[in-house]
Amino acid sequence: DGGITQSPKYLFRKEGQNVTLSCEQNLNHDAMYWYRQDPGQGLRLIYYSQIVNDFQKGDIAEGYSVSREKKESFPLTVTSAQKNPTAFYLCASSIRGRQDTQYFGPGTRLTVL
Amino acid sequence: AQSVTQLGSHVSVSEGALVLLRCNYSSSVPPYLFWYVQYPNQGLQLLLKYTSAATLVKGINGFEAEFKKSETSFHLTKPSAHMSDAAEYFCATNRDDKIIFGKGTRLHILP
């Protein structure tokens, strides 16, 4: 089955530690996206990548970093510089140029203690 | 810049009653508009999308939305609510090469 996987489902980290969230897709999509979801805030775009080895900042990139070394993978690192990292993180992918049709992963809930 | 506003962060309807979730958009050019649904602790699933082909858009699970330019609205409706419709719903629009989401409306279904 084609789709997007995010792991783990739940993640706990101590304050001050960096943590990397995994996102893998086998849809052969060029474009991938990372969103952050907080209650009552909707989804806010962190980073996105239209092609391998290239990515752009979204609306709330501060305190986050990404890499896009492979078409299938777009890991997100939440650094210690992110002031309020506890949130639900969603990864999505789409055909390049067709950002109107994004497919979402199941999400990772990060809790920083 | 294109954006969407969802009216009401929580909406409650009785099972079998009409569902109406409101979304207004602001755009200087004809927008693409979307409705997504999110069940608890899951990702988002596309319900339907408007791309200017037809003003009444039918989606999955019996939902539909009507694009009204005069009202700058794209409200989501379903004639008869089912318990399984309880979820959070997001209106969204395109901006440049991104999608911009509204803040969401949580739909509660009363037995």
Best of B23, B47, B101, B106 to disrupt the A interface (most A CBs within 10 Å) is: B101
| Chain A residue with Cα closest to B6 | A42
CB-CB neighbors (< 8 A) of A11 in chain B:
none
Give A23-79 pLDDT, tens digit per residue: 999 999 999 999 999 988 889 999 999 999 999 999 999 999 999 999 999 999 999
Give B17-75 pLDDT, tens digit per residue: 999 999 999 977 778 899 999 998 888 999 999 987 788 999 999 999 999 989 999 99
Query: What per-residue confidence (pLDDT) applies to B68?
Result: 93
Give dist(CA A110, CA A78) in Å, integer. Answer: 10
One-letter amino acid at B57 equals: V
Within 10 A of B45 (CB to CB), how many other CB atoms are there? Answer: 14
Are the beta carbons of A58 and B41 separated by less than 8 Å?
A: no
CB-nearest to A43 from B9, B46, B90 is B90
Query: What per-residue confidence (pLDDT) applies to B103?
Result: 94
CB-nearest to A99 from B9, B94, B102 is B94
Strands A108-112 and A10-13: parallel
Give B75-99 pLDDT, tens digit per residue: 999 999 999 999 999 999 988 778 8
Are the beta carbons of B41 and A107 separated by less than 8 Å?
A: yes
Higher pLDDT, B22 or A99: B22
| Chain A residue with Cα closest to B102 | A42
User: Could you tell me if A102 and A34 are in contact, meaning their C-beta atoms sit under 8 angstroms apart?
Assistant: no
Query: What per-residue confidence (pLDDT) applies to A31?
Result: 95
CB-CB neighbors (< 8 A) of A4 in chain B:
43
| 3-state secondary structure string across A38-97 | ECCCEEEEEEEEEECCEEEECCCCCCEEECCCECCECCEEECCCCCCCCEEEEEEEECCC
CB-CB neighbors (< 8 A) of B43 in chain A:
4, 90, 92, 104-107
A50 close contact with B: CB closer than 8 A: yes
Query: What per-residue confidence (pLDDT) applies to A1?
Result: 60
CB-nearest to B98 from A42, A48, A97 is A48
pLDDT band at A83 (very low <50, low <70, confident <90, very high): confident
